[in-house]
């Protein structure tokens, strides 16, 4: 686990761990402008839906400090629009940017002060959500698996680096480990940017949890051979029908889990549930271009001029998802529950 928050506000600036430098270096970025925040989001210095949402919230605080929402509304609106569109798939970014911008515009007094106070609330809510998801998820895993210790498989990075503290799916694994019932976590490397190898393995190592790393293509085969008791993923957006957008490779794991009759759980905060998007076919999937596919670390891995398709996310249909775990509820899709029928509980 990280020894400092992934994202913090200090002396008028957003400070965050630069995830592009991990695992070789633990380096913090200090962001004082909206363009700096947008750049950090787009080049994946900060990533993970909740973390992007918190960063965007603080970006609005910077925008309100630079351009008073009442005396310079055009400049403030332009900054807000640029922030909310920095990455399209994760719903948290646009949602939290709009929320903090609304607080700034509605303020009777200082809009910048109101924006910062609301951004702090966003951060604190995500922090509490991570703890709640870890507990709810661990309880559900133990109920579904029915024995201990548990072997868990996961993809991408869903730990503190993807939120503020603890995480989403990795918070469940951390809670299982803290309860003494985790046999092993198997992390998928997560191509093409290796978030599982660079970040999840780093967090599991700092946590002290037993773990192994596997190439993405091995996941379904390992499930078929009984290597894991449960698959845990995060989410960048959960549609109203339960279809879930997450890091590319999640759909393959869901297919493998269904074939192997292994529970497949999505763990994400309520802030990632988007009831305005009816199904997965309406989720915009970001393509990050060929550069990440045809080269790694500045070294070409494909012949010059090779074209590539590079979807950053895929969509897992709800019929392949056993349950959704949020900070406020568990929705058992396998038992016919829906997001509309399973009401969130108060924290």
Strands 323-325 and 264-267: parallel
Q: What angle do CA 314, 318, 324 make, to 5 degrees?
A: 95
Q: Are 226 and 145 in contact (CB under 8 A)?
A: no
Catalytic residue at 216? no
- Number of neighbouring beta carbons within 10 Å of residue 311: 13
Q: Are 332 and 323 in contact (CB under 8 A)?
A: yes
Check residue 12 and give left, alpha or beta (phi > 0: left; psi -120 to 50: alpha).
left
Residues in the chain: 347
SS3 of the chain: the string is: CCCCCCEEEECCEEEEECHHHCCCCCCEEEECCHHHHHHHHHCCCCCCHHHHHHHHHHHHHHHHHHCCCCCCHHHHHHHHHHHHCCCCCCHHHHHHHHHHHHHHHHCCCCHHHHHHHHHHHHHHHHHHHHHHHHHHHHHHHHHHHCCCCEEEEECCCCEHHHCCCCECHHHHHHHHHHCCCEEEEEEECCCCCCHHHHHHHHHHHHHCCCEEEECHHHHHHHHHCCCCCEEEECCCEEECCCCEEEECCHHHHHHHHHHHCCCEEEECCHHHEECCCCCHHHCCCCECCCHHHHEECCEECCCCCCCCCCECEEEECHHHCCEEECCCCEECHHHCCCCCCCCCCCC
Give exposure, 225-238, as e/b (b: 16+ Cβ within 10 Å): eebbbbbbbbbbbb
Residue among 216, 236, 274, 327 flagged as catalytic: 236
Q: What are the catalytic residues?
A: 236
């Amino acid at each position: 686990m990280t020894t400092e928050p992934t994202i913090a506000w200090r002396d008028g600036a957003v400070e965050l761990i630069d995830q592009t430098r991990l695992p070789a270096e633990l380096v913090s970025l200090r962001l004082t402008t909206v363009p700096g925040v947008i750049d950090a989001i787009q080049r994946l210095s900060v990533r993970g839906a909740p973390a992007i949402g918190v960063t965007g919230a603080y970006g609005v605080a910077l925008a309100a400090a630079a351009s008073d929402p009442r005396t310079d509304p055009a400049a403030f609106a332009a900054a807000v629009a640029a922030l909310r569109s920095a990455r399209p798939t994760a719903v948290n970014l646009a949602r939290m940017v709009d929320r903090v911008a609304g607080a700034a515009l509605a303020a009777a007094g200082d809009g910048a002060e109101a924006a910062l106070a609301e951004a702090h609330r966003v951060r604190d809510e995500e922090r509490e959500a991570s703890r709640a998801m870890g507990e709810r998820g661990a309880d559900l895993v133990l109920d579904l698996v029915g024995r201990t210790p548990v072997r868990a498989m996961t993809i991408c990075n869903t730990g503190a680096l993807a939120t503020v503290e603890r995480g989403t799916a990795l918070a469940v694994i951390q809670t299982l480990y803290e309860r003494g019932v985790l046999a092993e976590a198997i992390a998928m490397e997560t191509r093409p940017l290796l978030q599982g190898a660079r970040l999840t393995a780093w967090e599991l190592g700092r946590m002290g949890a037993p773990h192994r790393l596997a190439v993405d293509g091995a996941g379904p085969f390992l499930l078929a051979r009984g290597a894991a008791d449960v698959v845990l993923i995060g989410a960048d957006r959960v549609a109203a029908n339960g279809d879930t957008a997450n890091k590319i490779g999640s759909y393959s794991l869901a297919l493998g889990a269904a074939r192997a009759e292994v529970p497949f759980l999505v763990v994400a905060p309520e802030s990632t549930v988007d009831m305005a998007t009816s199904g997965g076919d309406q989720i915009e999937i970001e393509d990050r271009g060929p550069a990440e596919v045809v080269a790694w670390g500045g070294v070409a891995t494909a012949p010059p001029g090779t074209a590539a398709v590079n979807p950053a996310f895929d969509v897992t249909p709800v019929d392949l998802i056993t349950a959704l775990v949020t900070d406020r509820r568990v929705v058992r899709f396998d038992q016919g529950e829906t997001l509309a029928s399973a009401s969130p509980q108060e924290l």
